[in-house]
Structure 1
Amino acid sequence: MDHDSHHRDRLTIYAPALQSTMKWGSLLKSDFTGTLFVTSLDYVNGDVYTGLVDFERISSMEGIALANVVANPQEAASTGSKVLQSKITHNDGGTWEYLTPPQQDSLGMPYQCNDTNCHLHLRGSTMHRAKGKSFSKPSVVGSIVGVGNVGENLAQDYTASSTFISRDAGFSWEEIHKKSHFWEFGDSGSILVMVNDKEATNHVIFSTNEGLAWTEYQFADKEMFVKDIITEPSGKSRRFIVLGDFMSPLHVPIVAVHIDFSSLTTRQCDLDVSNDDSDFEWWSPSENCLLGQQRGRLCGGQSNYLATEIQGMELSMH
Structure 2
Amino acid sequence: MQAHQLSLSKAVLIAGPTASGKSALALELAQKTGGVVINTDSMQVYRDLRIITARPTVEEEARVPHRLYGHVDAAVNFSAGAWVADAEKVLAEARVEKRLPIFIGGSGLYFKALTRGLSAVPPIPAEVRDAVRARLERDGVEALHEELARRDPISAERLKPRDRTRIARALEVVEATGRALPDWHREGLPPLLPPGEFTALFLAPERDQLYARIDTRFGAMLDTGALEEVAVLAARKLDSLLPAMKAHGVPALIRYLGGEITREEAAEIGRADTRHYAKRQFTWFRHQLPEFEWIAPEAAKGWVEARLP
TM-score relative to the length of structure 2? 0.22
Structure of greater relative contact order (alpha carbons < 8 Å, 6+ residues apart)? 2
Counting strand residues as a fraction of each chain, which structure ranks higher? 1
